[in-house]
Amino acid sequence: MSIVAVVIAVSVIGWAVTMMLLSLSATRPSGLGVREGRLAACPGTPNCVCSEDEGDSAIAPLTYEGDAAEAWQRLQSVLTRYPRTRLMSVTDDYIHAECTSLLFRFVDDVEFRLDAVEKKIHFRSKSRAGRSDLGVNQARMETIREMFGKR
């Protein structure tokens, strides 16, 4: 084996071990939940989207017609079918789920808040580790939006 191949192999292994350690060191953040009628704002890093934010992290909430309870049940059904997602907390108007990546087991915290008056479901999706998520949180929420829209 050439020295170049050894250096590349060691670099790749080092990177993979670093990613795994970063994943294992990330813990559930404090401050999850609804405060003053809203989900927490994103911290200004590109690893978070929130339907109650403005600016770069803003994303449209889920909308529905008809009964709020039926929409809330439909969302729970979507989340139970979404790959590597665990519902951690479910109430009549709040859901906290954890989504785990396939490769390095990174965990993202995904929260939903039901606004029955406006017929909207607000959400926030944020990575626990790292600064960037390469668009994973936004892509996840758009997929959930698509799944929620199908009956």
pLDDT tens digit sequence for 76-108: 999 999 999 999 999 999 999 999 998 778 999
| 141 closest CA partner among 89, 92, 90, 99 | 99
For the beta carbon of residue 74, count every other beta carbon within 10 angstroms: 20
In 2-135, which residue ranges form alpha helices assigned H by DSSP? Answer: 3-25, 68-81
Q: What is the pTM of this model?
A: 0.82
- Average pLDDT of the chain to the nearest whole number: 87
Ordered structural domains, the chain, with CATH: 3-29+40-149 (3.30.310.80)
Question: According to the model, what pLDDT value does residue 122 have?
Answer: 98
pLDDT at 26: 52
Euclidean distance between CA atoms 151 and 143, whole angstroms: 14
Q: Which tops the pLDDT comparison, 1 or 36?
A: 36
pLDDT value for 6: 63
Token couple for 64: 């529905």
Ranges 50-64, 78-92, 125-139: which has the least confidence = 125-139
For residues 141 and 151, is the Cβ–Cβ distance under 8 A? Answer: no
